[in-house]
Amino acid sequence: MIPELGHLALILALLLAIAQAGFPLAGSLTGNRPWMTMARPLAYGQLAFVAIAFAALVQAFLASDFSVLYVAQNSNSLLPDIYKISAVWGGHEGSLLLWALMMAGWGAAVAAFSRNLPLPVVARVIAVMGMVAIGFLLFMLLTSNPFERLFPVPPEGRDLNPLLQDFGLAIHPPMLYMGYVGFSVAFAFALAALIGGKLDAAWARWSRPWTTVAWVFLTIGIALGSWWAYYELGWGGWWFWDPVENASLMPWLVGTALIHSLAVTEKRAAFKSWTVLLAISAFSLSLLGTFLVRSGVLTSVHAFATDPERGLFILLFLCLVIGGSLALYAWRAPEVSEGGRFDLLSRESGLLLNNLLFVAFTVLVLFGTLAPLIYEAFNLGKISVGFPWFNKMFLALAPFLALLLGIGPATRWKHDEPWRLTKTLWIALALSIGMLALASLPAISGGDQWVPIGIALAAWLLFSHLTLVRERLKHKHGSWRQAMLADFSGNGRSFYGMVVAHLGVAMFIVGVTMVSNHEIEKDLRMSPGDSHEMAGYRFEFLGAQKVNGPNYRADQGHFIVYRGQRQIAELFPEKRSYLGGGMPMTEAAIDAGFFRDVYVSLGEAVGGGDWALRLYYKPYVRWIWLGAGLMALGGAIAVSDRRYRTARARRTAPTEAVAAKA
């Protein structure tokens, strides 16, 4: 009964979404106020019904109702409750429902937090979000109904893919989807502005916090995915350039460009039509990613069970949403004035270059991801494009981005003087060159030219941003600490947010550089009692024993890691067989540290109590995710800036809780 209620709720949500897409928009075009005011209640209503549907599916999972096909495919009565919940989005249908829930959630959030916006704008934004929601709800109802029944009812479910039975992966998709779907708000604002013909600085000001919040979620989502791949896939990599990863990276890259471009549009009313195009692109690439992952046009490790019919539906949807918005863009954007002149040396130019580089990265990822398809479509042969290609391509451009990142924020809007800039940054430059020389010493670089380059670029970011902070506080009163605190609680948060995010980039660079060039990987065969010395650590293998988990059996190895005479970690890597069947999974054991991870992954038993296994030493690998975390934190700090808070304070509704949920 409850699954049918869920199904019904989905249908009602679809009807509300249709109304949400229709009435407010029509009202805004004809000046019909009552129709415009319908936008908010409809958005709340849609959220309520999608939430009911989602709750119904969660209930079916918790109750292990295997009469529901999707539950039978993705759950098992032995599954721990936490994974029963995360199994809700473990497959295609349920993850679509999660998309729809978030789509409705963002729509309701816009409705709730837009009280100081003109009504026609709100009506248009919510209407556009309604249109996108229609697409997803229809997709689900027509091709991927999560509530489909199964008869005869199997006594037991097939179990969730063991790979997904992990905390990191349980929260990774929601974060990622929050980001993807969040870009729909910027998209909707852009379209609303195009429809209304009013593209001004105010539009950029309204879009900015939404875009940044979505970007923060996406950053966290991608970082979680990378972290999960690192510890769960058992071979120590953190990024594989798989189509699924690329699909999440593209919206992130364009979203990053968008955040920066919005800053120019808000402050200087420049780049307006370009910013609109980025806003459309960020969300379009999120949708394109969905298509690539679910249509089966590309082979990927993580691909969903695919189906050409679904592919065709999404493609049609893409044509309507993206094609329609780009047509609107082609029609309306030429009327947009490009205000705000600037000189060659100015913050605007720097941000334009930033945008150019981020778009170039996006082009690289898109091209590399689609190249096998292009070759096949034109009968040029069948090729594979993998990490060597992407790494080479990215390394060709990334250093320029890092160089620019040290200069850009120090540049003034509109016009700057080369000598002033030099005077500001020369100390940072000198220190970075010093680091370059230091890191070139063979003892540090290990003979690799990328190590000194990476270290110097990271140092350049660190020192140039410290210079910025110093410059900013130079004329303030009190000690630098007092000044900074005052500045921070004043209107400086977007500045400090930027600094933190950029330092995150520096940290990320160090992590990538060090782990790529200095990691050590060993394949070994060890008998109980054996020891192996690696990178100053001694791994002692005590043996392996059988252990039982809630829904798996495992061989568990026991290792003690020593540094000198001191024991620093006890590691228990496992090789698990899940009772639901499928291949055995390795559960690597990692001793995480700020400066290094040591990582043991159990292979197979090779007889006589011996085990084949892998040991890894991963210097600075945490800095990759900590860097991403700092970027996300920077975004969060920037969003809390007073400019946005004052806008909020005028409203009476309690907002913070919902903001956290959104």
As given in the structure block, the two tokens for residue 104 are: 């409705």
Cβ at position 364, least distance to another protein in Å: 5
Nearer to another protein among residue 49 and residue 61 (C-beta): 61
Query: What is the C-alpha to C-alpha distance for residues 191 and 279, in angstroms, rounded to an integer?
Result: 9
As given in the structure block, the two tokens for residue 143 are: 């091709």
Cα separations (Å) of 480 from 431, 463, 470, 477, 488? Answer: 22, 17, 8, 8, 12
Residue from 142, 363, 395, 430 touching another protein (CB under 8 A): that is 363
Closest-CA residue to 180 (of 97, 308, 285): 285
The verdict on 393 binding another protein (CB under 8 A) reads: yes
The verdict on 150 binding another protein (CB under 8 A) reads: yes
Segment 162 to 221, residues that bind another protein, using CB under 8 A: 162-163, 200-201
Nearer to another protein among residue 22 and residue 168 (C-beta): 168
Closest-CA residue to 137 (of 10, 315, 6): 10
Segment 604 to 633, residues that bind another protein, using CB under 8 A: 604, 606, 612-614
Query: What is the C-alpha to C-alpha distance for residues 112 and 47, in angstroms, rounded to an integer?
Result: 12
How many residues sit in the footprint of another protein (CB under 8 A)?
130
| Residue indicated by tokens 């953190």 | 238
Cβ at position 662, least distance to another protein in Å: 23
Cβ at position 283, least distance to another protein in Å: 13
Segment 9 to 68, residues that bind another protein, using CB under 8 A: none
Segment 102 to 141, residues that bind another protein, using CB under 8 A: none
| Residue indicated by tokens 């070994």 | 524
The verdict on 291 binding another protein (CB under 8 A) reads: yes
Nearer to another protein among residue 232 and residue 628 (C-beta): 232
Residue from 28, 46, 73, 256 touching another protein (CB under 8 A): that is 73
Residue 5, amino acid: L
Residue from 120, 368, 454, 627 touching another protein (CB under 8 A): that is 368
Nearer to another protein among residue 327 and residue 430 (C-beta): 327
Per-residue interface string for the shown chain with another protein, residues 502-541, x marking contact by CB under 8 A: -------------------x-xxx----------------
The verdict on 303 binding another protein (CB under 8 A) reads: yes
Nearer to another protein among residue 29 and residue 202 (C-beta): 202
Handedness of CA 627, 362, 401, 179 (dihedral sign): negative
The verdict on 308 binding another protein (CB under 8 A) reads: yes
Strand-pair partners of 558 = 543
Nearer to another protein among residue 482 and residue 567 (C-beta): 482
Segment 424 to 453, residues that bind another protein, using CB under 8 A: none
Q: What is the DSSP string of 44-113?
A: HHHHHHHHHHHHHHHHHHHTT-TTBHHHHHH--TTS-HHHHHHGGGSSHHHHHHHHHHHHHHHHHHHHHT
Which range in 131-139, 261-269, 532-540, 542-550 contacts another protein by CB under 8 A?
A: 261-269
* Cβ-contact 300, 244 below 8 angstroms: yes
Cβ at position 16, least distance to another protein in Å: 29
Which range in 1-9, 79-87, 247-255, 332-340 contacts another protein by CB under 8 A?
A: 332-340
The long-range contacts involving 558-561, CB below 8 angstroms and separated by at least 24 positions, are 559/589, 559/600, 561/537, 561/591, 561/598
Nearer to another protein among residue 26 and residue 421 (C-beta): 421
Strand-pair partners of 596 = 619
Cβ at position 37, least distance to another protein in Å: 26
Query: What is the C-alpha to C-alpha distance for residues 401 and 457, in angstroms, rounded to an integer?
Result: 10
Query: What is the C-alpha to C-alpha distance for residues 19 and 133, in angstroms, rounded to an integer?
Result: 11
Cβ at position 630, least distance to another protein in Å: 16
Residue from 327, 430, 437, 441 touching another protein (CB under 8 A): that is 327
Which range in 3-11, 81-89, 432-440, 495-503 contacts another protein by CB under 8 A?
A: 495-503
Closest-CA residue to 274 (of 205, 157, 356): 356
Q: What is the DSSP string of 16-27?
A: HHHHHHHHHHHH
Query: What is the C-alpha to C-alpha distance for residues 487 and 481, in angstroms, rounded to an integer?
Result: 10
Containing H/E element for 232?
helix 201-232
Which range in 21-29, 34-42, 322-330, 647-655 contacts another protein by CB under 8 A?
A: 322-330
Strand-pair partners of 611 = 526, 605
The verdict on 76 binding another protein (CB under 8 A) reads: no
Per-residue interface string for the shown chain with another protein, residues 221-240, x marking contact by CB under 8 A: -----------xxxx----x
HSE of 556, CA atoms in CB hemisphere, 13 A: 12
Query: What is the C-alpha to C-alpha distance for residues 194 and 401, in angstroms, rounded to an integer?
Result: 31
Residue from 96, 601, 618, 636 touching another protein (CB under 8 A): that is 601
